[in-house]
């Protein structure tokens, strides 16, 4: 009798452990939240956290994302997006090509302004 009670308890415990493991895995679906024609940035790596979306130049990023960027996705088909460490396009960091994904910015938390460019970097 004790064995019959033990087996369901073990199965229940195993199910709870499995559920917690699967729940802890971050979803990668956030990239799909970035609308076509936009450059999107997130405040956490792997496209998590607060998302900002930009389709054109941004001289000064909003407080939520300024110097608080960890990952990005350029969902534009033919335009690049230049990233700058200073306001008004000073301190060039790099350029994100169309459809480029950066799961983890390096260096992180440095972007203050963005400039859309017609080239693909």
Threshold 0.85, pTM exceeds:
no
Answer whether residue 10 is part of any domain. Answer: no
For the ranges 22-36, 72-86, 93-107, the maximum mean pLDDT occurs at: 72-86
Q: What is the CATH number of the domain that holds 82?
A: 2.60.20.10
Which residues fall within 8 angstroms of residue 81, CB to CB, at 6 or more apart?
A: 39, 54, 74, 95, 96, 114, 115, 116, 117
Q: Predicted confidence band at 26 (pLDDT cuts at 50, 70, 90)? A: very low
Q: How far from 68 is each of 1, 11, 84, 117, CA to CA, in Å?
A: 58, 43, 13, 22
Domain around 71? 28-117
Answer whether residue 16 is part of any domain. Answer: no
pLDDT of 59 strictly over 70: yes
pLDDT of residue 109: 80
pLDDT of residue 18: 40
Answer whether residue 1 is part of any domain. Answer: no
Answer whether residue 7 is part of any domain. Answer: no
Answer whether residue 53 is part of any domain. Answer: yes
Q: How many domains does the chain have?
A: 1
Answer whether residue 14 is part of any domain. Answer: no
pLDDT of residue 119: 80
């Amino acid at each position: 009798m004790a064995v019959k009670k033990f087996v369901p308890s073990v199965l229940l415990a195993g199910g709870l452990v499995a559920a917690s493991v699967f729940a802890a895995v971050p979803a990668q679906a956030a990239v799909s939240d970035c609308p076509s024609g936009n450059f999107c940035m997130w405040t956490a790596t792997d496209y998590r956290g607060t998302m900002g979306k930009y389709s054109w130049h941004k001289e000064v990023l909003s407080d939520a994302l300024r110097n608080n960027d960890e990952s990005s996705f350029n969902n534009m088909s033919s335009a690049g997006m230049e990233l700058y460490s200073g306001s008004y396009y000073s301190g060039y960091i790099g350029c994100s090509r169309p459809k480029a994904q950066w799961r983890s910015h390096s260096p992180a938390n440095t972007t203050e302004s963005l400039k859309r460019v017609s080239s693909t970097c």
